[in-house]
Structure 1
Amino acid sequence: MRRPHPRLLAPAAVLLLATACGTEHTATGGGAGATVPAPRATVTDPPVDGVRITSVTIPAASPTPSATPGSVHADRLPGDSGISAAYQVGNDGDEAMTYTVLFAFTTDTGAVMDTTEVTVPAVAPGRSTTGTVDLGTLAPGASPVTRVKVEKVSKVPAAEAPARTGACPASGVRLWADDGDAAMGLRVVGLHLENCGKRDYTLDGYPELSLLDDDREPVDGIRILHGGAAIATGTGFDGPPTPLVLKPGETALSGLIWRNTTLAGTAVNVPYVRVLAKPGAAPVMVTPDLDLGTTGKLGVGAWKRAES
């Protein structure tokens, strides 16, 4: 289950695709019922936290007979929608950053028909990179998509980016956070560790956590408590720490546990968490979007062997 509390780092850049999906016109030399394909629309909207959409494309729809002579009725193409957006990611900072961008494809009224998440690794300082995001296939009965927006941008130092796949990091382990579960105000996000190296990897205790704000600066005033039971029982992270030896290819699991209760005071949101698997380990920065409310505390489970 995806977490129900996405964080917007900046106002979303909403792009109306009027030139790309407007009224169909009868062609002047293509025969009865022919249509003029919609062109790619250039976009000049400002970037959202370094990410901007440069153009959008919505293909011409297939014509069908119309009750009005000399006109056509546009139906959505079957299968793949063909809708796409070209984007650019620019890094104006002083270190290489890895970006995770959530693109939303919406209707005129803002209803989200689909989202696509793209990770852009290691954008060097002062440099930019480009790519294309595709809508893919719309669900049956979905309303026409006419807008694209940058829904959310997260960026972490490239040297600390989580790695679920790809080349094994120099540390010999991969560490990442999952999408988590939420029920009745209780949040649980799993921290996964895989020994992708060639040597055994030992664990004995709890991950070390540093809580960071939007600017990746420390967040004060939050107690980090050992064990899921410090927040709620039955989360699966109540057990005490036990020594683990992970052979190459084996995995371990920890968890972040919190409630989003909001009472008196100011609610606290923590977008970034720097994780050390054990003292002296290479840091990894994950983005669990902790909506801690006014509780002032976060639970962390001891490392345990992951079930195969």
Structure 2
Amino acid sequence: MSRPSAFRPAPAAPAPFLAALAATALLLTGCGTEPAGAGDRGAGAAGSPSGTPVDDPGKDGVRVTSVTLPSPSRTPSDDYSVHADSLYSGISAAYEVTNKSAETLTYTVIITFQSADGGAMSNRTVTVRDVGPGRTVRGTVQAEALTPGAPRTTGARVLEVTKVPAAEAPTEPGACPASGIRVSVDRGDAAMGLRVVGLHLDNCGTRTYTVEGYPLLQLLDEDRKPVDGVQILEGSAEISTGAGPDTPPGPVTLKPGEEATSALVWRNTTQMGTAVNVPYVRVRAKAGADPVTVTPKLDLGTTGKLGVKPWAKAKP
């Protein structure tokens, strides 16, 4: 390629335009910076991200300590344009989990990222496993990228914390416990006051596994103490027919890789009396099985009843 015989400098930008640009850049960079990366447009002049300390009182020993809010990148071009796309990605929060109890716990934490007026921009869930007594574990969580034009994220706080004994925590996705049996709950469904949360029993081991009848449940309060006064019913017909017919209870044999399902069914009707909320349920697939503590958050209202469907083999 031939080179030009002479270099002609670009015309200088008008002074009023440069002054306005400087004021705009000062405003936009007040939230920290981020390094140039795949999310930047062009080879921007952004620096390293800096965390802004957060005054978050936290919950149950978990708090957000700082938030990283990147500044926009700037593309050197003839029109001196400043791209603000990076204001909507690369946002993260640093958190710490301190276990003040006498047992090793696994925490599930929901952190909410907020706009300047306190509105929730996105929620992120993190699981912090095997935090020993007296230990503090630190980590970071990335916010979801927002659509350009949405309100800017300016902070974050801890929205919700659940914690269970580490030995009873559901295994992480893709992992298989020593028992070869994985117990979990789904996100459930709610319609017209009827609540249904599915229980799942996966044989992730190498041998067949048989259950019969209904899962064994223990309802626990916020301190993981037994909840009294709630009747656990075999089947869901007494609660509602809206959850579908119950499969007749009987033996269910699972080969490796097969799954059985059950379900918790209730209504959150509230009339006279004190409403009952059950954040934790300790589940045993059958008598003698290792317990797994799940967090379906049962809002039982004043009904005093919880229906349980029998185990049934899941369709392939």
TM-score interval, smaller chain: 0.7 to 0.9
Give secondary structure in 1 for the equivalent of 2:157.
Answer: strand
Map of 1:271 onto structure 2 = 279
Pick aligned residue for 2:201 from 193, 196, 206: 193
1:139-179 deviation line (CA, Å, top 9, x unaligned): 45422111211111000001000125243212210001111
- Cα distance in 1 for residues equivalent to 2:49 and 2:260: 51
Map of 2:303 onto structure 1 = 295
- Cα distance in 2 for residues equivalent to 1:278 and 1:25: 58
C-alpha displacement of 1:249: 0.9
Map of 1:50 onto structure 2 = 61
- Cα distance in 1 for residues equivalent to 2:240 and 2:61: 39
Give secondary structure in 1 for the equivalent of 2:86.
Answer: coil
Give secondary structure in 1 for the equivalent of 2:167.
Answer: helix
Map of 1:23 onto structure 2 = 27
| Structure with higher helix content | 2
Which amino acid in 2 is paired with 1:239? Answer: T
Indicate if the aligned counterparts of 2:98 and 2:136 stay in contact, CA closer than 8 A.
yes
Map of 1:282 onto structure 2 = 290
TM-score, normalisation: structure 2: 0.80
1:74-111 deviation line (CA, Å, top 9, x unaligned): 83427x61110111111111111010001111212222
- Cα distance in 1 for residues equivalent to 2:195 and 2:46: 51
C-alpha displacement of 1:36: 8.2
Map of 2:150 onto structure 1 = 142
- Cα distance in 2 for residues equivalent to 1:141 and 1:260: 38
Map of 1:59 onto structure 2 = 70
> Structure 1 residues 60, 133: CA separation in 2 closer, same or farther (over 3 Å shift)?
same
C-alpha displacement of 1:112: 1.4
Give secondary structure in 2 for the equivalent of 1:77.
Answer: helix
- Cα distance in 2 for residues equivalent to 1:88 and 1:254: 36
Give secondary structure in 2 for the equivalent of 1:23.
Answer: helix
- Cα distance in 1 for residues equivalent to 2:100 and 2:163: 12
- Cα distance in 1 for residues equivalent to 2:195 and 2:29: 51
Pick aligned residue for 1:255 from 263, 287, 307: 263
Which amino acid in 1 is paired with 2:155? Answer: R
- Cα distance in 2 for residues equivalent to 1:91 and 1:115: 23
- Mark the runs of 5 or more structure 1 residues left unpaired by the alignment: 1-21, 27-32, 65-71
Map of 2:35 onto structure 1 = none
Indicate if the aligned counterparts of 1:164 and 1:174 stay in contact, CA closer than 8 A.
no
1:253-305 deviation line (CA, Å, top 9, x unaligned): 00000000111111110000000111111000000000000111000100001
- Cα distance in 1 for residues equivalent to 2:150 and 2:156: 15
Q: Which moved more, 1:275-284 or 1:52-61?
A: 52-61
User: Aligned ranges for residues 203-222 of structure 1 at < 5 Å?
Assistant: 203-222=211-230
Which amino acid in 1 is paired with 2:84? Answer: D
C-alpha displacement of 1:38: 7.1
TM-score, normalisation: structure 1: 0.82
How high is the sequence identity, in percent, across the aligned residues?
Answer: 58
- Cα distance in 2 for residues equivalent to 1:202 and 1:101: 34
1:25-62 deviation line (CA, Å, top 9, x unaligned): 69xxxxxx988887321235433111111221001124
User: Aligned ranges for residues 94-105 of structure 1 at < 5 Å?
Assistant: 94-105=102-113
> Structure 1 residues 267, 74: CA separation in 2 closer, same or farther (over 3 Å shift)?
farther
User: Aligned ranges for residues 121-200 of structure 1 at < 5 Å?
Assistant: 121-139=129-147, 141-163=149-171, 165-200=173-208
Which amino acid in 2 is paired with 1:217? Answer: K
Give secondary structure in 2 for the equivalent of 1:94.
Answer: coil
Q: Which moved more, 1:251-260 or 1:133-142?
A: 133-142
Query: Is 2:250 the counterpart of 1:242?
Result: yes
Query: Is 2:118 the counterpart of 1:110?
Result: yes
Query: Is 2:79 the counterpart of 1:75?
Result: no
Which amino acid in 1 is paired with 2:218? Answer: S
- Cα distance in 1 for residues equivalent to 2:291 and 2:153: 40
> Structure 1 residues 140, 205: CA separation in 2 closer, same or farther (over 3 Å shift)?
farther
Indicate if the aligned counterparts of 1:175 and 1:191 stay in contact, CA closer than 8 A.
yes
Q: Which moved more, 1:89-98 or 1:36-45?
A: 36-45
- Cα distance in 2 for residues equivalent to 1:134 and 1:160: 27
1:220-262 deviation line (CA, Å, top 9, x unaligned): 0000001121211131352221211100111000000000011
